[in-house]
Amino acid sequence: MNKSAIGLIGLATMGANLARNIANKGFRVSVFNRTTEKTEKFVKHATKSQSEPKGEQNVSEANSNLIGTYTLQEFVAGLETPRKIILLIKAGQAVDDMTAELSPLLDKNDIIIDCGNSHFKDTERRQKELAKHDLNFIGCGISGGEEGALHGPSLMPGGKKEAWKKIRPIFEKIAAKDFAGKPCVTHIGDFGSGHFVKMVHNGIEYAIMQLLAESYDMLKNLGGFSNSELAKIFTGYNKNPNLKSFLIEITAKIFVKKDPEDHSKNPHFLIDLIKDAAGQKGTGKWTTEIAHDLGVYAPTINAAVDARIVSGDTKTREMSQRMLKIQTTAKRLTPADKKKLVKQVENALELATMICYEQGIGLISKADKEFHWNLNRSEIIRIWQGGCIIRSGYLKDLAIALGADQKTAMTMFTKIMQNLGGDKQKSWRKVILLAVESAIPVPAFYATLNYYDSYAEARLPQNLIQAQRDFFGAHGYERTDKPGSFHIKW
């Protein structure tokens, strides 16, 4: 009996598409889902499209590579050893349950690869547990949504290198490509580093999405631009080499999407009908938690998580809107001001986005030191160049700036610093000023500027905090002129 190169458990959209991707790349893949009908339907659909005359050749090959299995025993028995099993199931208890059911069926050196958005500490606990039975557990971040899973995601595997080597040929084939055509996958490092890096990716994702939402707010409510104009503006932003990104591209498309449920002659724009309460599954919040635990300053990620929280508090907002008076000092924008605003927001967005990546890298660097992971930051940025949600043109320069070639890295770093320190910075400040004057909340824009200004300032006012702590709590303070800890009776 022919055995499968790899197995995949969990046929929700992501799992189903990843299985198709693997099969499309010529690997035989066994699939299993708890609900048998889901597997039957998935495989039946695959076989059906196989016989469809218009199916491309690689599609029919792919479909014959998809093997439905209906018990875990059958699934495991059909895999080449060492077995490689991808889990694409709900993060949390489901991963523990599935691992517990699977492991007695597996042999030494078999590999479970958890591709869900699991917490890196859970991943490390599972790795330890399975290592007792000589089983490998890889925590693999996967980004790119449904489309990415099907056509090429960015993959962030973390775990034992020997286990990575076994899955590498498949993972390199199914991944997206970076700017140089290399696969957007690398061995991130041992332990939970893969899931940690994916979590930080999501933290950056939250931050950039919030910046885009604030830009939209400014342009719509201060600039008075219509949805069609907004689409044009964001399409224009996407031509800026640093801003060119998946998130800006989809944002431009969102503005012109009409309500599919409105069959009138002049349907409404869907964006105007969508509730303003943003949900979250948790990775953004985890990023802020670990940033606080590790003592890393990541204000934009914090601001983005907070902004989602306040957006969800619809009841309080609706109630307080009637009580809270707003006094603004804003003037009406002239057509020339409006034109300027488009450029100002573009400049602010460009620099602020750069700062979001910087905050993520700062967190990765600190975790690397703390947990002794020995991460390659340039490689991490490289594998975010394609497939993932935060892919952007800027990551070309950033990968170089973080690279091993010191001379090139320094030149690129200087170029980035010059951009941050140049004229565009005035726009960044101006956008925040305009927002404050017009009572438009821009927490992420402001947080990024605070990040920049705090690091640009050699002396912060926290000497006063130290004095206050010593005054009321005898917590002691350090002095600038001599070493040691001091306390006085204030």
Q: Which residues in the 370-389 window bind ligand 6PG by CB under 6 A?
A: 388-389
Active site residue 343: no
Q: Which residue is nearest to ligand 6PG (CB)?
A: 143
In eight-state DSSP terms, residue 145 is H
For ligand 6PG, give the closer residue by CB, 206 or 255: 206
Query: Using omega within 30 degrees of 0 as the cis cutoff, is the peptide bond preceding 82 cis?
Result: yes
Token pair for residue 109? 């050196």
Catalytic residue among 84, 124, 160, 205: 205
For ligand 6PG, give the closer residue by CB, 229 or 289: 289
* CA pair distance 144, 185, nearest whole angstrom: 13
DSSP H stretches of helix in 154-192: 161-174
* CA pair distance 387, 206, nearest whole angstrom: 17
* Residues 307, 443 contacting (CB under 8 angstroms): yes
What is the closest distance, in whole angstroms, from the C-beta atom of residue 70 to ligand 6PG in the complex?
A: 29
Instruction: Specify the 3-state DSSP secondary structure of 157.
Output: strand
- Name every residue whose Cβ is closer than 8 Å to that of residue 22 and which is 6 or more positions away in sequence: 6, 8, 29, 65, 170, 174
**Closest by Cα among 161, 158, 168 to 194:** 158
The answer to whether residue 15 forms part of the interface with ligand 6PG (CB under 6 A) is no
What is the closest distance, in whole angstroms, from the C-beta atom of residue 321 to ligand 6PG in the complex?
A: 25
What is the closest distance, in whole angstroms, from the C-beta atom of residue 388 to ligand 6PG in the complex?
A: 6
What is the closest distance, in whole angstroms, from the C-beta atom of residue 144 to ligand 6PG in the complex?
A: 5
Binding mask 117-156 for ligand 6PG (x = CB under 6 A): x-------------------------xxx-----------
The answer to whether residue 202 forms part of the interface with ligand 6PG (CB under 6 A) is yes
The answer to whether residue 213 forms part of the interface with ligand 6PG (CB under 6 A) is no
* CA pair distance 335, 172, nearest whole angstrom: 51
For ligand 6PG, give the closer residue by CB, 48 or 281: 281
The answer to whether residue 419 forms part of the interface with ligand 6PG (CB under 6 A) is no
The answer to whether residue 288 forms part of the interface with ligand 6PG (CB under 6 A) is no
Applying CB under 6 A, among 48, 128, 239, 281 the residue interacting with ligand 6PG is: 281
**Site size for ligand 6PG (CB under 6 A):** 13
Catalytic residue among 38, 84, 198, 285: 198
Q: Which residues pair with 488 in a beta bridge?
A: none
Token pair for residue 56? 């491309």
Token pair for residue 115? 């591709």
* CA pair distance 277, 99, nearest whole angstrom: 35
The answer to whether residue 163 forms part of the interface with ligand 6PG (CB under 6 A) is no
The angle at the Cα of 163, spanning 198 to 357, to the nearest 5 degrees, equals: 20
> Locate tokens 């670990």: which residue?
290
Applying CB under 6 A, among 159, 183, 284, 386 the residue interacting with ligand 6PG is: 284
What is the closest distance, in whole angstroms, from the C-beta atom of residue 280 to ligand 6PG in the complex?
A: 4
What is the closest distance, in whole angstroms, from the C-beta atom of residue 181 to ligand 6PG in the complex?
A: 22
> Locate tokens 């006012």: which residue?
461
The answer to whether residue 12 forms part of the interface with ligand 6PG (CB under 6 A) is no
**What end-to-end distance do the CA atoms of the chain give, in Å?**
83
* Residues 386, 185 contacting (CB under 8 angstroms): no
For ligand 6PG, give the closer residue by CB, 267 or 282: 282
For ligand 6PG, give the closer residue by CB, 108 or 281: 281
* CA pair distance 476, 484, nearest whole angstrom: 10
Token pair for residue 266? 């002049």
For ligand 6PG, give the closer residue by CB, 308 or 396: 308
**Type and span of the H or E element at 210:** helix 193-217
Applying CB under 6 A, among 124, 190, 205, 358 the residue interacting with ligand 6PG is: 205
Active site residue 257: no
For ligand 6PG, give the closer residue by CB, 39 or 143: 143
Token pair for residue 272? 């105007």
Q: What are the residues binding ligand 6PG (CB under 6 A)?
A: 117, 143-145, 202, 205, 279-281, 283-284, 388-389
* Catalytic residue positions, numbered: 198, 205
